Structure 1
Amino acid sequence: MYLASLGKLALGSRLKALSDHFYGAADEVYRTLGAPIESRWLPVLRYLWDSGPSTVTDVAKAIGQTHSAVSQLTDKLVRGGMVRRRRDLADGRRTVLVLTDKAQDALAALGPTWCAVRRGVAASLGEHAVRLLDAIAACERALQDRPVAGSILAEHAAIKAMPLEIVPYAPALREHFYRLNAQWLERHFRIEDIDRAVLSDPERHILQPGGTIFFARLGEEVIGTCALLQESPGVFELTKMGVDETFRGLGAGRRLLDACIAEFHRRNGRTLFLESNSRLATAVRMYERAGFVMQPSVRPGSHYERADVYMIYRQGA
């Protein structure tokens, strides 16, 4: 499932998908059994049934929805003859929501249906239902103590405040060279034999022939890498660039690219080329802005099955 691959980034979307599934299932049950309500009405109707006449504010607070959402739903319930608005008998300045006789009769007849819902959910989800309810309760308590929007914004500020460093290869960083490249290869293509060989032994395949490897480090996290491979004296390939998807948008890719180009110049290189794939449009545009020029055909003798883009660096292009 694609959303599952996004982890916490798609938490809201996955919860919405689950919510829509349960709403749809409940509505199907209500329609089949002839119950004159909709699943999305239940929180408001049930709260008024249990608590008696209440303001929109009280209902919204009790069921964890916004005042606007409850007010809009109330309009639908009023039009459907399930709820009416009246002046609060104890405080004429306030308006309260009251169930109509139609709603009272409908809810009173739903006992067997709600019993079936509880049993059906248990039969369908088994012990997962209990764990899910416990997890939801724990999340609700945690969000009361620390709202998620504030936490996200605080983390974003902390990330933006961290210095982004470009550092040379060190043995302690070797595992990150494989991890970062394998991440995007597995996502977009596959790890070819040549990739596996180079990524598993970068000292032999990149450093010993006269190449170099750079890493982008954000605080204590290694978030990107790129290599400059010397194919022959003065001829270099820009290769094995990968940036952790979690940290894209911080400029790590361009910083790594600039570091490799600067190293190419420092070594008085004659030719700098790269191979890529046209599906990676964002990366290709970055290479073009850095001075790489698209060639009319793939590189002769290319080692990569996925390569359909061949670019050569032209200083000042």
Structure 2
Amino acid sequence: MYLASLGRLALGSRLKALSDHFYGAADAVYETLGARIESRWMPVLRYLWDTGPSSVTEVADAIGQTHSAVSQLTDKLVRAGMVRRRRDPADGRRTVLALTDKAHASLAELGPIWCAVRRGVTASLDEHATQLLDALAACERALQQRPVVDAILAEHAAIMATPLEIVPYTPKLREHFYRLNAQWLERYFRIEDIDRAVLSDPERYVLQSGGAIFFARLGEEVIGTCALLQESPGVFELTKMGVDETFRGLGAGKRLLDACIAEFHRRKGNELFLESNSRLKTALRMYEKAGFVLQPTTRSGSHYERADVYMIYKPQ
């Protein structure tokens, strides 16, 4: 399941999908059994059934929905003849919601259905039903103690205050070398055989031949990579540069490019070149600013089907 692969990032979407599933299941049961109710009405109707006439604010606080959401649902329930608004006998300035006779009659028929719902959920989910309810209760308590918006904004501030680091290759970072390059290759082109070989075994194809690999790291997040591949003594290729598209604009590409150029100079290289594609205009502009000069033809013997740009580094 795709959403599951996104982890915490898709928590809201997964809960929404799960909620829609249960609402749909309840509606199917109500319709099949002739119940005069819709699943999304249930929280408000059941609360008024158990508690008696209450204000929109009281209902919203009790069922964990916004005042606006409960007010909109109330409008639907009023039109359906299930709820009416009336003045609070104890305080004429206050409006409360009360069930109509139609609602009482409809709810009075639901005992066997609600019993079947409880048993059916248990039969379908087994012990997961209890685990889910316990987890939901724990989440609700945690959110009351620290609202998730506050927590996310605090983490974002911490991330943006974290300095971007350029770090050398370590075996623990191997998977990011593949991931970051596969992201842009699959989006714009395809992963060719030569890409797959180099990305899967960078120690053999880059490091053992005298090259280097760098990564851009923002705290614990690895957001970019670039390789300096030695093709022959003193001749290096700038290759396999990829920056996570969701972290663009932080300068990671330029920092990686600068690191590779500095490494080229440190190794006293004679020639530094790169191959690219004319579709990657943003990257090409960055290369030009760094001192790479576009050549009139593609490179003879290029390994890449996609390469239609050949550039050579000529420092000012």
Alignment TM class, shorter chain as reference: 0.7 to 0.9
Deviations 1:262-309 (A, max 9, x none): 545674654411357x9xx7xx243222136889998665546xx524
1:290 aligns with 2:276: no
Q: CA deviation at 1:253?
A: 3.0
**What SS class does the counterpart of residue 167 from structure 2 fall into?**
strand
Q: 1:131 to 1:297 in 2, by over 3 A?
A: farther
Q: CA deviation at 1:244?
A: 5.7
Q: 1:132 to 1:315 in 2, by over 3 A?
A: same
Q: CA deviation at 1:197?
A: 5.8
Deviations 1:27-70 (A, max 9, x none): 11111111111100000000000000000000000000000000
Q: CA deviation at 1:237?
A: 1.9
Q: Which residue of 2 aligns with 1:75?
A: 75
What is the 5 A alignment of 1:1-317?
Answer: 1-169=1-169, 173-176=170-173, 178-184=174-180, 188=186, 195-196=196-197, 200=201, 202=203, 205-219=205-219, 222-233=222-233, 235-243=235-243, 250-264=250-264, 267=268, 269-275=270-276, 284-291=280-287, 301-303=301-303, 307-313=305-311
5+ long unaligned stretches in structure 2: none
Quick one: which amino acid aligns to residue 86 of structure 1? Answer: R
Indicate the larger mover: 124-133 or 232-241. Answer: 232-241
Contact 1:223/1:243 (CA < 8 Å) preserved in 2? yes
Contact 2:212/2:229 (CA < 8 Å) preserved in 1? yes
Query: C-alpha separation between the residues in 2 aligned to 1:50 and 1:207?
Result: 70
Indicate the larger mover: 158-167 or 262-271. Answer: 262-271
Q: CA deviation at 1:222?
A: 4.6
With the length of structure 1 as denominator, give the TM-score of the two structures.
Answer: 0.83
Contact 2:271/2:313 (CA < 8 Å) preserved in 1? no
5+ long unaligned stretches in structure 1: none
Indicate the larger mover: 183-192 or 104-113. Answer: 183-192
Q: 1:9 to 1:162 in 2, by over 3 A?
A: same
**What SS class does the counterpart of residue 238 from structure 1 fall into?**
strand
**What SS class does the counterpart of residue 89 from structure 2 fall into?**
coil
Contact 1:185/1:191 (CA < 8 Å) preserved in 2? no
Contact 1:226/1:260 (CA < 8 Å) preserved in 2? yes
Contact 2:297/2:309 (CA < 8 Å) preserved in 1? no
Give the length in aligned residue pairs. Answer: 304
Q: CA deviation at 1:7?
A: 1.0
Contact 2:215/2:256 (CA < 8 Å) preserved in 1? yes
Q: CA deviation at 1:219?
A: 3.8
Deviations 1:169-228 (A, max 9, x none): 5xxx2321x1212324666466957645665452x5434544332222334655432111
Query: C-alpha separation between the residues in 2 aligned to 1:295 and 1:58?
Result: 72
The root-mean-square deviation of aligned C-alpha atoms, in Å, is 3.1
Quick one: which amino acid aligns to residue 156 of structure 1? Answer: H
Query: How many percent identity over aligned positions?
Result: 69
Quick one: which amino acid aligns to residue 310 of structure 2? Answer: I
Query: C-alpha separation between the residues in 2 aligned to 1:227 and 1:38?
Result: 59
Query: C-alpha separation between the residues in 1 aligned to 2:100 and 2:296?
Result: 75
Q: 1:299 to 1:102 in 2, by over 3 A?
A: farther
Q: CA deviation at 1:78?
A: 0.4
With the length of structure 2 as denominator, give the TM-score of the two structures.
Answer: 0.84
